[in-house]
Amino acid sequence: MPPQPDDCLFCMLVRDGDHVHRADGFVAINDINPLAPVHVLVLPERHVDTFRDVSEFDADEAKRMLEFVAETARVVGLEDYRVVVNVGPGGGQTVFHLHWHILGGQTLTERNL
């Protein structure tokens, strides 16, 4: 694995966090501040700053990342859900390690992100 940024919270959680699902270079953790009854974050194990840098993934890895998002939703028991990626400060991104929010467990409104 290439060197990880020492000061990245999500790199630390990849190493030491409680994972609700892990496979194939990706992990899922519960969001510490859930905005819905189920609020899970999916992260690549390797550090990529933002979705803007998605071209750092090759086609196979990008496909597996999307499949892992869908698989995680199934693992946590969701059939209907919302997937959100905040990109950059203006998009609401506060942690600069790419992550996908999965929200569900209730009928979602605009208040759930």
Tell me the catalytic residues.
99
Question: Is position 18 an interface residue for ligand AMP (rule: CB under 6 A)?
Answer: no
Q: Does residue 8 bind Zn ion (CB under 5 A)?
A: yes
Which x/- pattern, by CB under 6 A, does the window 35-54 give for ligand AMP?
------x-------------
The nearest distance, CB 60 to ligand AMP, in angstroms, is 25
Annotate 69-110 with DSSP letters as a single string: HHHHHHHTT-SSEEEE---SGGGT--S-S--EEEEESS---T
Measured CA to CA, the distance from residue 71 to residue 24 in angstroms comes to 12
Residue 59 within binding range of ligand AMP, rule CB under 6 A: no
4 near ligand AMP (CB under 6 A): no
Phi and psi torsions of 27, nearest 5°:
-130, 155
